[in-house]
Amino acid sequence: MTDEPAFDLEYRPFSLPLTTPLETASGSIGSRDGFLVRITRHSDGAVGYGEATPLPGWTESHENCAAALERAQRTIRTRNAREALAAVDEAVAARHGVSLALADLEASSESTPLYRYFSPNSLVARVPVNTTIGDRSVDESVTAARRAVDRGFGCCKLKVGRRSVDEDIERVRRVREAVGPGVELRADANGAWSYDEAVSAIEAFADIDVSIVEQPLPAGALEGHAELRGNGVAIALDEGLLEHGVDAICEAQAADVVAIKPMALGGLDIAQQVTAWIAELDITPLVTTTIDGVVARTGATHLAASIPNLPACGLATGELLAEDLGRDPVLLENGSAVVPQAKGLGVEGVWEE
């Protein structure tokens, strides 16, 4: 006798334009195109939501994501949830979508907020977040930083690396002058610099009190990043994590900080394991989105809430979108994301809208 399949999985495409394209050293992000995932349990009609939002260079392509979701759908309809997760294979964004929908469903049926499903018995009200400022002109960067600080942000992350190092130093200096000494400033070069450029940038950034520089060198460079450490600005790897994994980074002593992107790692469950391992190795994790819709963003916020003592995280990216999948359950207040305490993700009405 064969067991009746326990779940159904549906998915639909979406396209979310940004209000202004996010300019980075590795390209411009103008819209986020992905799939909303809904998993339904036949026995009681319980549902969970997930989001698969591929980003070229970070995940599988849009096309491969759709193909992986198709395989997951076929597998969950004929087999079971575990095999459906396996059927997405290497497609990290698709795996993110399927695993998030399952986790939302499970946590909701247990009447537990998602972060407590990952970290039972914890109670977390808020997680600190940074604002994300694209690589634009000095004036635009200063205006964006001022506006964020006026709205309560205590940390601004500036994208850098599209112009000369001297111009970036000047730009970051002008932002520092505008926001004053009390605001944390970070820079993210998305792998744009040569070693010598990174050395000059870091020397000046130390002076301007930039706390972290993310991915100054290309993803392949581990030794170079190791050598950049200890000069007054913490070195964070982001692309480098996907390229090398935690153990190689630790072995090469290549990072003070590692950025965790659940969409690029294949889901919150995997991101949780990676984060726990990073923290165990005395590297500081921070959680960031890939500029996702409200479902994935809220998932990343729950992940951040499940990890103690995180620095400001790159979760305030909903502000960059001109449209979203539904109402945002995560309020931003005084530089922190207020963690939803409703069951599951706490995202409502996304399938209907």
**Distance of closest approach, residue 288 Cβ to Mg ion, in angstroms:** 7
Ligand-binding site membership of 214 (annotated) = yes
343 has catalytic annotation: no
Ligand-binding site membership of 89 (annotated) = no
312-331: contacts with ligand OSB (CB under 6 A) = 314, 317
Nearest to 228 by CA among 192, 201, 260, 258: 201
Name the residue with the smallest CB distance to ligand OSB: 314
Task: Choose between 57 and 232: whose C-beta lies nearer to Mg ion.
Answer: 57
Could you tell which of Mg ion, ligand OSB, none binds residue 290, using a CB distance below 5 to 8 A set by kind?
A: ligand OSB
Task: Choose between 106 and 238: whose C-beta lies nearer to ligand OSB.
Answer: 238
State in Å, rounded, how far the first CA of the chain is from the last one: 40
The label of the residue with tokens 């909903």 reads: 318
CB 325 within 8 A of CB 353: yes
CB 75 within 8 A of CB 84: yes
Binding mask 188-207 for Mg ion (x = CB under 5 A): x-------------------
Ligand-binding site membership of 319 (annotated) = no
**What does the buried/exposed string (b/e) look like for 85-113 if buried means 16 or more CB atoms within 10 Å of the residue's CB?**
bebbeebbbbbbbbbbbbbbbbbbeeebb
2-10, 78-86, 139-147, 286-294 -> range binding ligand OSB (CB under 6 A): 286-294
- ∠ Cα 289 182 124 (to 5°): 45
Q: Please identify which residue in 104, 197, 238, 256 interacts with Mg ion, judged by CB under 5 A.
A: 238
Binding mask 219-258 for ligand OSB (x = CB under 6 A): -------------------x--------------------
- DSSP per-residue codes, 36-101: EEEEEETTT--EEEEEE---BTTB--HHHHHHHHHHHHHHHHHS-HHHHHHHTTT-HHHHHHHHHH
Q: With binding defined as CB under 6 A, does residue 157 bind ligand OSB?
A: yes
Q: With binding defined as CB under 6 A, does residue 290 bind ligand OSB?
A: yes
Query: By CB neighbour count within 10 A (0-12 exposed, 13-18 middle, 19+ buried), where does 331 fall?
Result: exposed
Q: Please identify which residue in 289, 298, 301, 336 interacts with ligand OSB, judged by CB under 6 A.
A: 289
The token duo for 319 is 């502000």
78-86, 100-108, 267-275, 288-296 -> range binding ligand OSB (CB under 6 A): 288-296
The token duo for 221 is 């460079």
261 has catalytic annotation: yes
Give, as one character, the DSSP assignment of residue 160.
-
Q: With binding defined as CB under 5 A, does residue 135 bind Mg ion?
A: no
How many angstroms separate the CA atoms of 285 and 301, rounded? 14
- ∠ Cα 143 146 148 (to 5°): 105
Could you tell which of ligand OSB, Mg ion, none binds residue 306, using a CB distance below 5 to 8 A set by kind?
A: none
Task: Choose between 102 and 236: whose C-beta lies nearer to Mg ion.
Answer: 236
9-48: contacts with ligand OSB (CB under 6 A) = none
* Residue type, position 105, single letter: L
Q: Which of 96, 244, 261, 297 is catalytic?
A: 261
188-207: contacts with ligand OSB (CB under 6 A) = 188, 190
CB 208 within 8 A of CB 172: yes
Write out the catalytic residue numbers. Answer: 159, 261
Binding site for ligand OSB (CB under 6 A): 55, 130, 132, 157, 188, 190, 238, 259, 288-291, 314, 317
Question: Which positions make up the binding site?
Answer: 188, 214, 238
Binding site for Mg ion (CB under 5 A): 188, 214, 238
